Amino acid sequence: MVENPMYSTAVGLILHGQKNLRDQGVRRISRRSGFPWVFGKVRSLFGKSDD
């Protein structure tokens, strides 16, 4: 377990998301990809993903 004050906000947002998931069942669409860098490059080049 690590305490790092630099990431308090980001972790807090994740905790908020976790609560949302539990309370409201928000959809999750972050998919595991075999070629994650490809999606990142596409996003960088064209601004938006292709979905």
Asked whether position 23 contacts other proteins by CB under 8 A, the answer is no
10 binds other proteins (CB under 8 A): yes
Residue 9 lies near other proteins (rule: CB under 8 A): yes
Residues in contact with other proteins, counted by CB under 8 A, come to a total of 40
Q: How many Å apart are CA 17 and CA 2, to the nearest integer?
A: 20
Q: Which two tokens stand for residue 9?
A: 């906000």
Binding site for other proteins (CB under 8 A): 1-18, 20-21, 26-33, 36-37, 39-41, 43-44, 46-49, 51
